[in-house]
Amino acid sequence: MSELEFFKMSASGNDFIIIDNRDGKVYDIFKDLNRFIVKICTRRHSVGADGLILIEKSTNHDFRWRFFNADSSEAEMCGNGGRCAARFAFVNGIAPERMAFETLAGVIKAEIEGRRVKLQLTDPIDLRLDYPVGLEDKEIFLSSVNTGVPHAVLLVDDVDYMPVEELGRLVRYHKAFGAKGTNVDFAQIIDRQNVKIRTYERGVEGETYACGTGAVATGVILKEKGLLESPVNIVTKGGETLKVYVNDEVYLEGDARIIFAGKLNEEALV
C-alpha cells in the first residue's frame, strides 16, 4: 500500500484520482475494486474525487484507461477526466505531446500545450432533437446525443435558477433513457458563441462543477439546431470556460491542473 502513488488532478472543477496501473498493482492490492473506488473517492474521509482513473497498457496506442465514477460504476468516457489523463500521461513520460488512448467509447486523441489540453472525442451518435418526455406532473421537450456517454440537453432561459438536482434526477432515471439512464445538461444561450451550462451527472448522482462530454453534447445539439457557431465557449458552474469545436470532428479544449501527488496510506480506506 505504501508504494501506491497517485495524482490528484482537476479540470473545470471536476477532480480525479489518477494511478499509473500499467503493472496491474491496483488489482493485486485490492481484490474488491468497487469498495476501493468508493472509499478513496469519498470526500472528507479519504482523498475525495468525482472519479478514479487507471492508466493501463495498450498494445496499439499510447495507453488504455479505465474510468470509474465515485460510486464505482465504470463509464465509457469523461471529457474532463480525459484531459487530466492525457496530461498525466505526458508529465509522467507515458505518452508524447500528441497521443492516442483507448477508452470504452473508442480511441481518443489529445494534444498537450502547457496545462492546456485539446481532446478529440469520438463521433457523436444517437442525436435526437426536440422530443417530449413526460414527467410526474408535466411534459418537457429536450434533445439528446451520445458524446462517449449519453446526454440529455434542456434549453432554459436562466440556468442559474434551474432546480438542477431535482429535475436532473427525474430525467436521469427516466425510462426513455433505458436502464443506464443519462446525464442531464441545462443550457442557456448567451449569444452565438457563448453558452452557460449546469450538469447533473449519473454516477456522481448530483450536480458537478462541469462536465466535458456535457459541454460537447450541448455544442453538438445547438450547432445542429443552427443556434451557435463553432468554436463555442461553454461557461461551466465552476467558472471555467471550455472551448468546444463542432465541425467534421469534435474537440474539447481546456486546462487540466495537477493539484498534488502523493502515496496512499491504508487509513484512507478505513
Per-residue confidence (pLDDT) for residue 226, from 0 to 100: 96
Grid cell locating 25: 498493482
Same domain? 134 vs 68? no
Mean pLDDT of 5-10: 97
- pLDDT > 70: what percent of the chain? 99
Q: Identify the CATH number of the domain in which residue 182 sits.
A: 3.10.310.10
Full residue range of the structural domain in which residue 163 is found: 125-248
**Catalytic positions:** 78, 211
- 20 pLDDT more than 70: yes
Round to whole Å and give the CA distance between 205 and 243: 25
- 2 pLDDT more than 80: no
Same domain? 25 vs 114? yes
Count of domains forming the chain: 2
Same domain? 138 vs 241? yes
Same domain? 131 vs 225? yes
Same domain? 242 vs 146? yes
Which residues, other chains included, contact 225 with Cβ-Cβ below 8 Å and sequence gap of 6+? 129, 130, 143
Same domain? 237 vs 260? no
Same domain? 20 vs 105? yes
Same domain? 132 vs 244? yes
Grid cell locating 139: 411534459
Closest to 7 in 3D by CA, of 84, 74, 82: 84
Per-residue confidence (pLDDT) for residue 220, from 0 to 100: 97
Amino acid letter for position 71: D
Same domain? 218 vs 262? no
Q: What is the pLDDT of residues 71-85, one digit of tens each?
A: 999 998 999 999 999
Q: What is the pLDDT of residues 92-151, one digit of tens each?
A: 999 999 999 999 999 999 999 999 999 999 899 999 999 999 988 889 999 999 999 999
Round to whole Å and give the CA distance between 143 and 128: 6
Same domain? 129 vs 244? yes
Same domain? 60 vs 156? no
Q: What is the pLDDT of residues 171-218, one digit of tens each?
A: 999 999 998 899 999 999 999 999 999 999 998 899 999 999 999 999
Q: What is the pLDDT of residues 210-251, one digit of tens each?
A: 999 999 999 999 999 999 999 999 999 988 899 999 998 999
Round to whole Å and give the CA distance between 44 and 33: 20
- 3 pLDDT more than 80: no
Closest to 71 in 3D by CA, of 158, 170, 181: 181
Same domain? 140 vs 243? yes
Grid cell locating 1: 500500500
